Structure 1
């Protein structure tokens, strides 16, 4: 496959065969994204020559955590070695070409412009280290949201150690100012309500999405956000929620038991979204189409996600008050 259009056709042919299994689907996404990046690099090299220094192209969001559904949007960035302004021009061009390629091969552009085509997300290692410290020093809602987005990054193509070097700066800063853990918790502390006082599911009541629950905001995020906070607390650099569960020390036994729920949730999501035809609807779950047993299972996942999030808060408070 030599161009983006051929990759898109390959995606369209193959995606359904892996859409039933979380791990297989995300392996397929990785393969598709890597091939897209390789084509983009060749495009830039044909005009600008070979990369002038070491770099890493990283993905964030659901791609960074290896939690993509059938449809996914773009969240990515670039980190490169060295401070030459010409390096920045080169890698910004790479970021622009990758963004274009991803759009063709099936990944919608990020509404918030969190992409390597944006200079804000294409920086040298030194600039990224300064950015991490600035976000944590500012510690306002937007800065901490950007920081959390970045911490879910993983390298897709390039030098892994460039990204890890930047993440280490975050661990050192948090160790110096442990109250930041509480600020990070507050930043993601709002959980969209999924259950009523009588234990009933609460789908959206009005608008074109009436009758649906947003599975990402209501059910997935409590698990994702809790494990990100614990990964920061325990200096775990992995971006995958499942790997974060696995890397937690043994004293987190009460937390690790929720891993089974999270994996069930990932596959549950795929089961109900197998007929979704675009990114707009991929996070919506139509309650009336579910059986009584499916609803009960969903309620259990919602309850356990909230329990996990509360337990995480206790652990953060204990650590910060030491």
Structure 2
């Protein structure tokens, strides 16, 4: 269907507006774009170096892994493979990263991409690395761990990633202290509402007058459901699927799902015209009506309430 990355870029530009108003259509479109990009990259590397020397899994992380991308997204991905074939798969990872950049996905500033040896390893090496991250339990390693946990396979062997997550759940059961360390790592929430109930926009530079939707409104929901998914051994990466799978166990948490869906719609409604990945998270308050501001404040407060509830659940159940 597509023979070049530029053809995919053109398809993106021609199609994006038609799917930008619906969260699920938009993310299905992102999946198609990335899948087609990986296919072109794989064909190119095969023409140069032959077929893949072993089975592998190309997986998405971050917002792509959670099926929660907005109109713009950067890259977060990795490769798991069998055996000792890193050189080949690093070449494939680099080609995928470069292809995605052409199509319209910015390189990840943190280098969380399959072109980085840290995110392109054999299954056994990745398993050891993940357990080392948990045991070190520093801010940086727990950040890596969080990124990895929000992952799903787009191309290849899905069971590789599932097996890795099952090993993670086992490690957390064996070392309960790690759960507390993980919660500490995501405990910071950027304030979005002041003591008088006012929204708190950025005060300096180009961001002046905007509110950071990702940090103030979105992250509390994501982090809360990630905590509970880890605690209960739920491997699904998307926040909505985590809500659905945890609803029976935590009915009090289920009521927040509609707030999260409302937040996703709110973000699309006001940021679908954003011109870059950075701008998609920055919402100018001047474009909001009084009703919109009230809605946003309510969604921020609900996210903070959910995050507190998730922490309390883990703390109370570990004491039983």
- Give the superposition deviation at 1:182: 1.2
Pairing partner for 1:207 from 194, 205, 208: 205
Q: Which residue of 2 aligns with 1:52?
A: 53
State the TM-score, normalizing by the size of structure 1.
0.98
Q: Does residue 7 of structure 1 match 2:8?
A: yes
| Contact 1:81–1:162, Cα closer than 8 Å, also in 2 | no
Q: Does residue 74 of structure 1 match 2:75?
A: yes
How far apart in 2 are the matches of 1:50 and 1:22?
A: 36
| Contact 1:135–1:144, Cα closer than 8 Å, also in 2 | yes
- Give the superposition deviation at 1:304: 0.3
How far apart in 2 are the matches of 1:279 and 1:246?
A: 29
State the TM-score, normalizing by the size of structure 2.
0.98
**SS of alignment partner, residue 30 of structure 1:** helix
Q: Which residue of 2 aligns with 1:182?
A: 180
Q: Which residue of 1 aligns with 2:257?
A: 259
Q: Does residue 292 of structure 1 match 2:290?
A: yes
| Contact 2:72–2:277, Cα closer than 8 Å, also in 1 | yes
Give the CA RMSD over aligned residues. Answer: 0.8
Residue deviations 1:86-145, cap 9 Å, x none? Answer: x11111111000000000000000011110000110001100110111001000100101
| Contact 2:70–2:272, Cα closer than 8 Å, also in 1 | no
Residue deviations 1:28-57, cap 9 Å, x none? Answer: 000000000000000000011111111000
How far apart in 1 are the matches of 2:204 and 2:74?
A: 25
How far apart in 1 are the matches of 2:160 and 2:122?
A: 9
How far apart in 2 are the matches of 1:36 and 1:154?
A: 17
- Give the superposition deviation at 1:249: 4.8
Question: For structure 1, which runs of at least 5 residues remain unmatched after alignment?
Answer: none
| Contact 1:174–1:181, Cα closer than 8 Å, also in 2 | yes
How far apart in 1 are the matches of 2:255 and 2:92?
A: 42
| Contact 1:181–1:320, Cα closer than 8 Å, also in 2 | no
- Give the superposition deviation at 1:213: 0.4
How far apart in 2 are the matches of 1:41 and 1:95?
A: 9
Q: Which residue of 1 aligns with 2:64?
A: 63
| Contact 1:3–1:39, Cα closer than 8 Å, also in 2 | yes
Question: For structure 2, which runs of at least 5 residues remain unmatched after alignment?
Answer: none
Aligned pairs for 1:28-43 (under 5 A) are 28-43=29-44
How far apart in 2 are the matches of 1:121 and 1:251?
A: 33
| Contact 1:59–1:77, Cα closer than 8 Å, also in 2 | yes
| Contact 1:212–1:286, Cα closer than 8 Å, also in 2 | yes
Once structures 1 and 2 are overlaid, which stretch shifts more, 301-310 or 250-259? 250-259
- Give the superposition deviation at 1:280: 2.2
| Contact 2:209–2:285, Cα closer than 8 Å, also in 1 | yes
Aligned pairs for 1:1-322 (under 5 A) are 1-82=2-83, 84=84, 87-322=85-320
Paired residues in the alignment total 319
